A and B are shown apart, each in its own frame.
Chain A
Amino acid sequence: MSEAHAHSVAYVRDTMLPQAAPPPGETGPLRWMRENLFSSIPNAALTLLSIYFIYTILAAILPWMLGGIWDAGSLTECRAIRDERGLETAACWAVINERWLQLLFGFYPIDSPLLARLFYADELAAAGGMEAVFGAGSNATARIEFVAQMRADLGNLVVFFFGYWRPLLALALLVVAVAPVLYSSLPRKMLVFSLAYPFVAVFLLWGGTIWGPMLVALGILLSLGVLRVVAGETNALLGMLAGILVALMIFLNPLAFTDLGLFPLLPHVKAMLDSALPLGLPAIDSADFGGFMLAIIIGTSGIVLSLPLGILLALGRQSSMPLIKWVCVSFIEVIRGVPLIVWLFTASLLLNYFLPPGTDFDLLLRVIIMVTLFASAYIAEVVRGGLAALPKGQYEAADSLGLDYWKSMRLIVLPQALKISIPGIVNTFIGLFKDTTLVVFIGLRDPLGLVNAIRATGEWNGIYWELYVFVGLMFFIFCFFMSRYSMYLERKLATDRR
């Protein structure tokens, strides 16, 4: 400190003041409220009005939701309990408590032999043992009664974890399979499992012997192998033809008019292996699939399959080859110009008239194909938007590097175009996932269809909001996750705006 000021000014502070707290009203929630909620009279009025609105809504809903009744056998019992407690309104969550497994899995059969062996051994022995209850010649009515009693005694949680282990395992493995695709920090080797996952999932969900999915996977590998070998030996066109021919011989019958009976190879080999080594799980029919499991199966298959198809369509639409361009344009326009519900009706009703009588073309598979085609048309347009947004210089730069078409697309154009398209793509996926509820109109038992079925029972007839609130909540959880992930991905890929 210099001495100079000591004479020219009356007072010079020569020590630092200790830091003081800001004055009251300038800090903490009070200041935040003043700045954000009550900064002016109109704003204050709006704030009070909003608070009043929120209060009115919550005052109506919260007592109903929180005062809900969880333990009752029917709507009538619910009402009796409510009156007993002297409540004005109360949600009857008991219906969710009783039926949540049905809303999640539909009529997918539980693994009752496993449950009986693990938790119900004494009663099983009393009923005559495994063979007498679950054996081939056993009485179906007695078995149903036994299973009903067992479910009632074990409770829903045990049934959830052990009775439905197949769909649960499939779901857990789905997370494992999808993780390396979603998060690039995971080891790339996990992608091998991602590729194998569809076959694992089909085996777990539909059951049957292990040979079916395994042989399909082998057939695809074999076709690809032949394609590569022949393409390496001769040229790409011959290789592709050879690969297609091998695939046809394995999966279809290219010589249907001859009476050889040798092709397609797959069923023959499968029958052979099935009889030699019948390894597998009990087969389950698609008709038994339902609930959120159905929404997730249709949704994920549609999402996974429609993205590559949509990208190909978008590229095809920009192609300079007129034939490819026209095919892609007409496909996109036709699919997009017709409502999804019409395609679903086509899949469920019209297709049967064209297929040879007696063809057993699984309804669920038909629906997945239709949903995939429908979503891919939308994805194609979203991706085309991304492609159009790229400056022309990027295409020219790729060409000037001497890259061929596929390389320039893969290395230069698509990474940028897809990044721009992420919000649109995820938007389409969320829409697709919610659209899966439309399958209720063709008689598949999606969550909304099950709501109708549950409402038709004597116990729960007349219940309304509780079931729909539950279904809505489940859908919200899935869609919210998807939208959060897309925001994460955008942040991560926002390289140019950092």
Chain B
Amino acid sequence: MKKTAFLGTLAVAGLAASIASAQSTLEQVQDAGVLRCGSNEGLAGFAAPDANGVWSGFDVSLCRAIATAVLGDPQAVEFVPLTSQTRFTALAAGEVDVLVRNSTWTFSRDTDLGLDFKGVNYYDGQGFMVNSDLGVASATELDGATVCIQTGTSTELNLADFFRVNNMSYEPVPVATNAEGQQQYLAGACDVYTTDVSGLAATRATFENQADHVILPEIVSKEPLGPVVRHGDNLWGDIVYWTLHGLIAAEEYGVTSANVMELASAPTANPEINRMLGTEGELGAMISLSNDWLVNVIAAVGNYGEIFEQNIGENTPVGLARGLNAQWTDGGLLYAPPFR
């Protein structure tokens, strides 16, 4: 009798615990008053702290956008630095609410790891950088080259695939970090440095004689980078997805941080903009947010194009062209579903 009572209370306690943990991510974030965003420890253009410890960058801006959508404050973000080894486990274990850490969307990560990729905020691909003294114009001429390659990344596998398909041989020089790869390449330990093209561009931007180094035209892999959330909490996934695509759509319709307040003050002639900015319809309420959520987001961080130009665009040290990351109307891949 005593034993059953004891087991009963245990069961009740367990139930109470599971009810407490069933709180949705949105409620957790709103209760805590801060969004925990899994971020890079430091990647040029994507996430870096200034001298005062304030983070900025392309990925960081998306975190700030989500925080603004949910909490109304772009500064209400706690950036949890994650390495490439710990990022998915940290997300799955609930240490972060969303992961925006230049993570490539792949089949197994999306399915087997129990995670959901919510769109793509940057289309990247693996490329090669060589010294122009080498006289190489195409990656197919790299037979027998020594290649600096970061170990344990998908780029290592892509490299092997590329050389095998083209029936060429190479000698790998393994490096642990981008910083090490940069030093090895400059010291002449390898002919070729390979990583994502955005990384190559950022690396080359730091060289003294940038003209001496060329990034070869071949892109040997698809690296769609995007924000990641846990499987199962669909409302939270929707918020992340539509915040990202709200930024993209805002660029498409010409809504910027400068004119968003004016456009949101009264309904405009474009019903799509009206629905986005909450002057028509009740879209915000459908994802449990206020109706002007996107207005706050764009006012705080700008639209996708502004974020791009500010952090990694052609006028920044990283100096990336829009390329695939242009709007679909400009021949890129960015295509936000309609706000309706």
Q: Is the CB of B13 within 8 A of A141?
A: no
Q: Is the CB of B94 within 8 A of A141?
A: no
Contact-size category for A: 35 or more
B-contacting residues, A417-453, CB 8 Å: 440-443, 445, 449, 452-453
Give the Cβ gap from B211 to chain A, nearest Cβ, in Å. Answer: 15
* In the complex, per-residue mask of A437-478: 1 if CB is within 8 Å of any chain B CB, else 0: 000111101000100111111100110100000000000000
CB-CB < 8 A to A461: which residues of B? 44, 202, 205-206, 317
B329 contacts chain A at the CB level, 8 A cutoff: no
A140 contacts chain B at the CB level, 8 A cutoff: yes
Number of residue pairs across A and B with beta carbons under 8 Å? 124
Which stretch, A183-191, A316-324, A351-359, A481-489, touches the partner chain B? A351-359
Which stretch, B46-54, B138-146, B266-274, touches the partner chain A? B46-54
Consensus secondary structure, chain B interface: loop
CB-CB < 8 A to A456: which residues of B? 40-44, 46-48, 57
Which stretch, A8-16, A143-151, A325-333, touches the partner chain B? A143-151
Residue of A nearest to B43 (CB): A456
Q: Is the CB of B81 within 8 A of A445?
A: yes
B1 contacts chain A at the CB level, 8 A cutoff: no
A285 vs B44: C-alpha distance when bound (angstroms): 26
Residue from the list A144, A151, A257, A458 in contact with B13, Cβ < 8 A: A257
A101 vs B53: C-alpha distance when bound (angstroms): 10
B279 contacts chain A at the CB level, 8 A cutoff: no
A456 vs B59: C-alpha distance when bound (angstroms): 13
With A140-B76, A144-B52 given, is the CB distance from A259 to B41 under 8 Å? Answer: no
B133 contacts chain A at the CB level, 8 A cutoff: no
Q: Is the CB of B52 within 8 A of A443?
A: no
A258 vs B10: C-alpha distance when bound (angstroms): 9
A-contacting residues, B45-74, CB 8 Å: 45-54, 57, 73-74
CB-CB < 8 A to A336: which residues of B? none
CB-CB < 8 A to A60: which residues of B? none
A300 contacts chain B at the CB level, 8 A cutoff: no
Q: Is the CB of A287 within 8 A of B86?
A: no
CB-CB < 8 A to A270: which residues of B? none
CB-CB < 8 A to A442: which residues of B? 83, 86
B151 contacts chain A at the CB level, 8 A cutoff: no
- Interface core residue of A79, A109, A356, A456 (most chain B CB under 10 Å): A456
Give the Cβ gap from B248 to chain A, nearest Cβ, in Å. Answer: 23
Residue from the list B9, B50, B182 in contact with A462, Cβ < 8 A: B182
Q: Is the CB of A144 within 8 A of B75?
A: yes
Give the Cβ gap from B162 to chain A, nearest Cβ, in Å. Answer: 27
A-contacting residues, B1-40, CB 8 Å: 6, 9-10, 13, 17, 20-21, 40
B93 contacts chain A at the CB level, 8 A cutoff: yes
A395 contacts chain B at the CB level, 8 A cutoff: no
CB-CB < 8 A to B183: which residues of A? 464
Q: Is the CB of B52 within 8 A of A257?
A: no
Q: Is the CB of B85 within 8 A of A441?
A: yes
Give the Cβ gap from B32 to chain A, nearest Cβ, in Å. Answer: 10
Q: Is the CB of B51 within 8 A of A98?
A: yes
A458 vs B183: C-alpha distance when bound (angstroms): 18
Q: Is the CB of B49 within 8 A of A458?
A: no
B89 contacts chain A at the CB level, 8 A cutoff: yes
Q: Is the CB of A443 within 8 A of B208?
A: no
A348 contacts chain B at the CB level, 8 A cutoff: yes
Q: Is the CB of B49 within 8 A of A357?
A: no
Give the Cβ gap from A196 to chain B, nearest Cβ, in Å. Answer: 31
Give the Cβ gap from B161 to chain A, nearest Cβ, in Å. Answer: 28
Q: Is the CB of B10 within 8 A of A452?
A: no
A-binding residues in B (CB < 8 A): 6, 9-10, 13, 17, 20-21, 40-54, 57, 73-76, 78, 80-83, 85-86, 89-90, 93-95, 177, 179, 182-183, 202-203, 205-208, 300, 316-318
CB<8 Å pairs between A and B, sample of 7: A107-B53, A140-B75, A357-B17, A445-B41, A449-B41, A452-B41, A456-B43
Shortest beta-carbon contacts, A-B, top 3: A462-B206, A456-B42, A140-B75
19 extra interchain contacts, Cβ-Cβ under 8 A, other than A141-B300, A257-B9?
A: A101-B51, A107-B49, A148-B52, A259-B9, A352-B94, A353-B93, A356-B17, A441-B86, A442-B86, A452-B177, A456-B43, A456-B48, A456-B57, A457-B44, A457-B49, A461-B205, A462-B203, A464-B179, A464-B182
